[in-house]
């Protein structure tokens, strides 16, 4: 990991803009004064590639928020404005209550994604024109650059619809020229699909993983391609796009046969099991380097939690074992916890319920919080060093199932691999297997529920509902059909102030 440190030391002078991302739409990556001194050796290109992944990691909170904070997961219990532990939600309730606005946009400045898009643009330009990088590294780096740029733009257009397209490298900061109008969502999607094909072309036959699967790879691009084409298949693309998605997923399985679902669901996320054979691409965190940035939002204060009980362990929480050390702002609803079957291992690993105990052995549930990322204990403190998965093999299986449903094929094989792992020794195909659960009568609802159970807290639920169609958002969240404009996000005041060519998302009050 030494190269990451090199990037941060040199990045202050070389590749990080000196203008705060909170003050403008950051379309400028580098000072022209120092750019001429860079790109002279393979090691500098290597450091830059480590750098764009480090910056990608800095966007974990935005990726998670855009992916699920507005879905049917979080919220306070009926009749309560605060969390079960007494902490205030401090504005996060605007996500699940769908009350986002110009001055409370939830995710401001487009998630700061442009700060890395411009770095990627610069990398593409320098790679195309360099002779100091080996052909293998040049192709791999171009593959990951185009793939990551497509991922960012897919995040942007799903959240805001029309967004600014910036693909050219910008060599110097010029505030007076930052005003740039958004391009139509259709044009953004065209760019995304073109970048995906450029990525795949540059990777060629190289299916290798680098840096224990924390670098973007050809498999990550194929996963993105499947996700993009499933999105369009649910709209105007129909069976043609569903077939394209299925082909991308089959390509991964054919060329990377080592991918599998691990026998233990919990072990996929263990801090000491990074880059395992279920992971396709994950954001890397390491002790003494980086931690999950949103951890404190989802965990209660240790001292407050100590007032409650763990019914499974038949014990009271204590400050040594249960040292979550957060400030719970986004509690998990009890109704979310109760959606899971008690025999499903994902229920107990993913969510931690808290109970009052009015009498010995009597427990009344009072609230829940995220348990999926337990981190590791270090010198008496809990450190959240879990990786944050972007794509893993279970996702590949359930996207294959989705494509098959769109193609009027049976999704049973893929869904049942995931269910069998979840239920373990409790799995009975005739009971838990598809199509034997009651919900399986509606394959779309069955798949959405399976994805909820499997990927909760991985930033996917809101986007899954959006992909399947507006009616699913209205059914499962607090967005009303009469407020369909809320399917997209408002643009924050600072972004509109600093780019006067932008227009507020239709439906929200104009700036």
- Which residues share a beta bridge with 74? 332
Region(s) of the chain under CATH 1.25.40.390: 219-282+388-468
Give me the pLDDT at residue 427, please. Answer: 98
Element (H, E) at 391: strand 388-392
**∠ Cα 134 138 142 (to 5°):** 175
CA distances (Å), origin 86, targets 80, 92, 144, 304:
10, 15, 45, 8
- b/e string for 31-68 if b means 16 or more Cβ within 10 A? beeebeebbeeeebbbbbbbbbbbbbbebbbbbbbbbb
Give me 117's structure tokens. 């898009």
Helices and strands (H and E) in the chain: how many: 21, 8
Burial class for 94, CB neighbours closer than 10 Å (0-12, 13-18, 19+): middle
**∠ Cα 20 110 53 (to 5°):** 75
How does DSSP classify residue 290?
B
Helices of type H across 15-134 = 32-35, 42-58, 60-68, 93-97, 114-129
**Distance from C-alpha of 27 to C-alpha of 23, rounded to nearest angstrom:** 12
Nearest to 233 by CA among 475, 488, 467, 444: 467
Q: Which residue has the tokens 């309730």?
A: 93
* Crossing angle of the two packed helices 238-255 and 218-232, in degrees rounded to 10: 160
**Distance from C-alpha of 389 to C-alpha of 4, rounded to nearest angstrom:** 20
Q: State in words which class domain 1-59+113-206+480-511 has.
A: mainly alpha
**Distance from C-alpha of 290 to C-alpha of 387, rounded to nearest angstrom:** 10
**Distance from C-alpha of 99 to C-alpha of 175, rounded to nearest angstrom:** 32
Burial class for 495, CB neighbours closer than 10 Å (0-12, 13-18, 19+): buried
**Distance from C-alpha of 472 to C-alpha of 153, rounded to nearest angstrom:** 23
Query: Is domain 219-282+388-468 annotated with CATH 1.25.40.390?
Result: yes
pLDDT tens readout for residues 19-29: 233 334 555 44
SS3 104: strand
Element (H, E) at 455: helix 443-455
Nearest-Å Rg of the Cα atoms of the chain is 23
pLDDT tens readout for residues 138-165: 999 999 999 999 999 999 999 999 999 9
Element (H, E) at 281: strand 279-283
How does DSSP classify residue 381?
E
Going by their DSSP bridges, the two strands 279-283 and 388-392 should be labelled as antiparallel
Nearest to 311 by CA among 361, 265, 267: 361
**Distance from C-alpha of 363 to C-alpha of 334, rounded to nearest angstrom:** 14
SS3 362: strand
SS3 445: helix
Element (H, E) at 347: helix 345-350
Report the residue count for the chain: 511
Give me 217's structure tokens. 């790879």
Strand blocks (E) in 295-375: 309-310, 315-316, 351-359, 362-370
- b/e string for 175-214 if b means 16 or more Cβ within 10 A? eeebeeebbebeebbebbbebbebbbebbeeeeebebebb
Show pLDDT as tens, one digit a residue, over the chain (511 residues). Answer: 333 333 332 332 233 332 233 334 555 444 443 677 899 999 999 999 999 999 999 999 999 999 999 999 999 999 999 999 999 999 999 999 999 999 999 999 999 999 999 999 999 999 999 999 999 999 999 999 999 999 999 999 999 999 999 999 876 545 445 589 999 999 999 999 999 999 999 999 999 999 999 999 999 999 999 999 999 999 999 999 999 999 999 999 999 999 999 999 999 999 999 999 999 999 999 999 999 998 789 999 999 999 999 999 899 999 999 999 999 999 999 999 999 999 999 999 999 999 999 999 899 999 999 999 999 999 999 999 999 999 999 999 999 999 999 999 999 999 999 999 999 999 999 999 999 999 999 999 999 999 999 999 999 999 999 999 999 999 999 999 999 999 999 999 999 998 999 999 999 999 9
Whether a cis peptide bond, with omega within 30° of 0, leads into 435 is yes
331 touches 76 (CB < 8 A): yes
Residues 6+ apart with CB under 8 A from 32: 171, 172
């Amino acid at each position: 990991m030494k190269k990451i440190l090199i990037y941060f030391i040199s990045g202050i002078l070389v590749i990080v803009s000196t203008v705060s991302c909170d003050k403008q739409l950051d379309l400028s990556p580098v000072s022209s004064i120092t750019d001429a001194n860079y790109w002279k050796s393979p090691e500098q290109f290597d450091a830059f590639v480590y750098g764009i992944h480090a910056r990608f990691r800095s966007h974990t909170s935005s990726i998670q928020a855009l992916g699920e904070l507005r879905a049917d997961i979080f919220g306070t219990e009926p009749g309560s404005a605060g969390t079960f532990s007494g902490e205030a939600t401090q504005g996060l309730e605007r996500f699940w209550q769908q009350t986002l606005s110009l001055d409370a946009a939830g995710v401001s400045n487009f998630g700061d994604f442009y700060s890395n898009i411009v770095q990627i643009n610069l990398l593409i330009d320098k790679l195309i024109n360099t002779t100091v990088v080996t052909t293998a590294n040049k192709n791999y780096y171009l593959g990951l650059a185009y793939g990551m740029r497509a991922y960012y733009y897919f995040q942007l257009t799903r959240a805001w619809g029309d967004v600014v397209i910036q693909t050219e490298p910008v060599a110097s900061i010029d505030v007076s020229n930052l005003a740039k109008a958004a391009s139509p969502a259709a044009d953004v999607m065209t760019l995304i699909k073109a970048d995906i094909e450029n990525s795949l072309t540059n990777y060629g036959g190289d299916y290798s993983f680098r840096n224990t699967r924390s670098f973007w790879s050809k498999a990550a691009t194929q996963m993105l391609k499947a996700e993009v084409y499933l999105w369009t298949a649910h709209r105007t693309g129909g069976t043609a796009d569903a077939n394209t998605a299925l082909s991308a997923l089959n390509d991964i399985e054919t060329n990377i046969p080592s991918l599998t679902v691990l026998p233990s669901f919990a072990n996929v996320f263990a801090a000491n099991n990074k880059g395992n054979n279920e992971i396709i691409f994950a954001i890397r965190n390491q002790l003494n380097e980086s931690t999950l940035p949103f951890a404190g939002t989802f965990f209660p204060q240790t001292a407050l939690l100590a007032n409650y009980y763990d019914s499974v362990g038949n014990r009271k929480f204590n400050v040594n074992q249960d040292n979550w050390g957060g400030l719970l702002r986004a509690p998990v609803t009890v109704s979310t916890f109760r959606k899971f079957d008690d025999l499903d291992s994902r229920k107990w690993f993913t969510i931690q319920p808290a109970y009052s105990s009015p009498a010995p052995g009597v427990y009344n549930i009072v609230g829940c919080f995220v348990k999926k990322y337990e981190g590791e204990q270090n010198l008496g403190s809990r450190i959240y060093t879990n990786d944050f998965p972007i794509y893993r093999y279970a996702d590949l299986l359930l996207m294959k199932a989705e494509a098959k449903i769109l193609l009027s094929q049976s999704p049973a094989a893929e869904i049942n691999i995931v269910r069998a792992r979840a239920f373990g020794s409790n799995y009975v195909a005739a009971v838990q297997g598809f199509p034997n659960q009651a919900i399986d009568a509606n394959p779309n609802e069955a798949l959405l529920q399976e994805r909820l159970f499997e990927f909760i807290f991985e930033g996917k639920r809101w986007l899954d509902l959006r992909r399947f169609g507006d009616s699913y958002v209205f059914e499962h969240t607090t967005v009303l059909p009469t407020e369909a404009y809320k399917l997209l996000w408002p643009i924050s005041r600072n972004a509109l102030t600093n780019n006067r060519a932008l227009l507020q998302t239709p439906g929200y009050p104009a700036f």
